[in-house]
Chain A
């Protein structure tokens, strides 16, 4: 299993990780090696198996619709790297709506 540098860059971009060239090459090698190992899962025939998507043996825990206490704005913004006008400040986001 051999990843290319382009694939490494694509994944790093998706994950919003800046990597140095050295890191890209190192990760390329290491990830290829790890993926090579995990490929052995393909040996198993799992056609009849249901994926284990939940580890909760009970189902469905719903919460009563009662409003509770929120943090004060000060508590919320206490750890903020940059805040003004009681909001978190970030560099300008030009693409006005990234939501689908």
Chain B
């Protein structure tokens, strides 16, 4: 019999319902595995075993006494939550010293919907500080190690969640994707990760980084698993004025998903030189597999792709510079005392923020400052419109766009620390989806010669998550890359 921690979400929920095992047993199994592997992986910032077991116990009580009553769909399922999402009563650090002891008095809407659906929260996972980074090396609480190779990064910023899922420390984990922060770590860790359309899932309770780019996403072992989560989390929230009031499809993917006639676009600008050969090969092979399953593949062009990095690295830092202004030591978080209020602000922020965060705040402040606004922020907003238009035009020809997630597989810890710009350039394939606000799903399509996972992403038109899930599920029904698990250590 498979270990409880090897079960998929669907299998887990079924097992809980039929009484094959209890939520306590399940939660216990995960907690034990976490105990065992955390010293090597450091996927978590905070673990909440007591709370988790209490939630599991309560879940079991309801599961036993259910009868014919309608039970919450995920009752008893343990999950992990990226530490930029608020969970009431549990500290939310955002990977930063400046929030090291901040305890939110409310939960993020997305989290609350899952809690209402009956989940058990194992803990808060590691993240680059304020979600700024592509490796989780920018966490103030130490980096997370890739379960496939402990000297490698898990990707970022949702590296903790990706590592946790890959190492079977949780069946699913919430993440956030502002410039690729769910898709890229999913790719580096060999798991599936989705980013919804901007506005699909409420941002209330998501500690803001780039307000027009942030989205709540999730990582898991399959598209089928994640589709369940999506249906529950998505939908209008009156606490978020940017959340869309549109119907959310009820997404239960079954085995016989048919993608005949699905038009798949392959963007020529994403297959540039500099991409790792094995990555390109694996992605092209996956596209061929889609074709075998009945999809029609054609080439598309997204001509402004090369401008995605500069556009993103003006807009995101600009918005972040304002979003992080609230961290001033007055009402919560770290305070470095001083007799002078301005010194208090400067010292608090100077010591509470790490280098990458400071860098981006400076960049953003500069881009918005008097005399520079038009040339930087103003211009970036215009080019962003061009990038969005590229996608809209492409989606007149195709239903989904297939592309690599990152130019390489997981790089080594410390490889990019000297040169922030080189790190930024790694994001070139994931940024465009955030700039355009479109959904994307990343899933494993192979391994390189170092046995490091290779991921591919499918991007869809606004609000077409269903198409993406179905396509990914079709691929996963005909392949088994997503079932591979690392032998940790």
Q: Report A's interface with B, CB cutoff 8 A.
A: 7-8, 11-12, 14-19, 23, 27, 30-31, 33-35, 37-42, 44, 46, 49-58, 61, 63, 71, 75, 78-82, 88, 90-93
Q: Name the one of B313, B331, B338 contacting A80, with C-beta atoms under 8 angstroms.
A: B331
Instruction: Indicate if the CB atoms of B385 and A51 lie closer than 8 Å.
Output: yes
Residues of B within 8 A of A8 (CB): 362
Residues of A within 8 A of B340 (CB): 91
Instruction: Indicate if the CB atoms of B105 and A56 lie closer than 8 Å.
Output: no
Instruction: Indicate if the CB atoms of B105 and A75 lie closer than 8 Å.
Output: yes
Interface residues as binary, B452-489 with A (CB distance below 8 Å gives 1, 0 otherwise): 00000000001000000000000000000000000000
Instruction: Indicate if the CB atoms of A17 and B241 lie closer than 8 Å.
Output: no
A84 to B146, CA, bound (A): 46
Residues of A within 8 A of B313 (CB): 34, 37-38
Instruction: Indicate if the CB atoms of A63 and B238 lie closer than 8 Å.
Output: yes
A63 to B238, CA, bound (A): 8
B359 interfacial contact with A, CB 8 Å = yes
Instruction: Indicate if the CB atoms of B362 and A46 lie closer than 8 Å.
Output: no
- A-contacting residues, B331-390, CB 8 Å: 331-335, 337-347, 349-351, 353, 355, 358-359, 361-363, 365-366, 369, 375-376, 378-386, 388
In the complex, residue of chain A having the shortest beta-carbon distance to the beta carbon of B329 = A81
Instruction: Indicate if the CB atoms of B241 and A37 lie closer than 8 Å.
Output: no
Residues of A within 8 A of B376 (CB): 38, 41
Instruction: Indicate if the CB atoms of A41 and B242 lie closer than 8 Å.
Output: no
Question: Can you offer 28 A-B residue contacts whose CB atoms are under 8 A?
Answer: A15-B325, A15-B349, A16-B342, A31-B362, A33-B421, A37-B421, A37-B424, A41-B383, A44-B379, A46-B383, A49-B382, A49-B386, A51-B384, A51-B385, A52-B384, A52-B388, A54-B212, A56-B241, A56-B244, A57-B244, A57-B462, A61-B241, A61-B245, A79-B103, A79-B331, A81-B334, A90-B341, A91-B344
Residues of B within 8 A of A82 (CB): 335, 337
A53 to B347, CA, bound (A): 33
B311 interfacial contact with A, CB 8 Å = yes
A78 to B105, CA, bound (A): 9
Instruction: Indicate if the CB atoms of B362 and A55 lie closer than 8 Å.
Output: no
B199 interfacial contact with A, CB 8 Å = yes
Interface residues as binary, B185-214 with A (CB distance below 8 Å gives 1, 0 otherwise): 000000000000011000000000000110
Q: A34-B363, A41-B311 are in contact. Are A18 and B383 (CB under 8 A)?
A: no
B60 interfacial contact with A, CB 8 Å = no
Q: 4 tightest A-B contacts by CB? A: A18-B350, A51-B381, A79-B332, A81-B335
Instruction: Indicate if the CB atoms of A55 and B212 lie closer than 8 Å.
Output: yes
Instruction: Indicate if the CB atoms of A50 and B341 lie closer than 8 Å.
Output: no
Interface size of B by CB at 8 A reads 72
Interface-central residue, A8, A34, A51, A56, by most chain B CB under 10 Å:
A34
Q: A52-B381, A82-B335 are in contact. Are A15 and B365 (CB under 8 A)?
A: yes
Residues of B within 8 A of A38 (CB): 309-310, 313-314, 376, 380
B261 interfacial contact with A, CB 8 Å = no
Q: A23-B358, A93-B341 are in contact. Are A50 and B382 (CB under 8 A)?
A: yes
A14 to B366, CA, bound (A): 9
In the complex, residue of chain A having the shortest beta-carbon distance to the beta carbon of B327 = A16
Instruction: Indicate if the CB atoms of A17 and B350 lie closer than 8 Å.
Output: yes
Q: Name the one of B245, B344, B349, B379 contacting A41, with C-beta atoms under 8 angstroms.
A: B379
Instruction: Indicate if the CB atoms of B369 and A56 lie closer than 8 Å.
Output: no
A27 to B317, CA, bound (A): 15
Instruction: Indicate if the CB atoms of B363 and A56 lie closer than 8 Å.
Output: no
Q: A46-B379, A49-B385, A88-B330 are in contact. Are A55 and B366 (CB under 8 A)?
A: no
- A-contacting residues, B222-266, CB 8 Å: 238, 241-242, 244-245
Instruction: Indicate if the CB atoms of A11 and B350 lie closer than 8 Å.
Output: no
B328 interfacial contact with A, CB 8 Å = yes
Q: A52-B385, A90-B344 are in contact. Are A17 and B353 (CB under 8 A)?
A: yes
Instruction: Indicate if the CB atoms of A41 and B346 lie closer than 8 Å.
Output: no
B307 interfacial contact with A, CB 8 Å = yes
A46 to B337, CA, bound (A): 47
Instruction: Indicate if the CB atoms of B245 and A58 lie closer than 8 Å.
Output: yes
Instruction: Indicate if the CB atoms of A41 and B307 lie closer than 8 Å.
Output: yes
Q: A16-B345, A56-B199 are in contact. Are A51 and B378 (CB under 8 A)?
A: yes
Residues of A within 8 A of B329 (CB): 81
A55 to B315, CA, bound (A): 13
Instruction: Indicate if the CB atoms of A44 and B199 lie closer than 8 Å.
Output: no
Interface residues as binary, B381-410 with A (CB distance below 8 Å gives 1, 0 otherwise): 111111010000000000000000000000
Least CB distance from A82 to B in Å reads 7
Residues of A within 8 A of B339 (CB): 91
Residues of B within 8 A of A17 (CB): 346, 349-350, 353, 358, 361-362
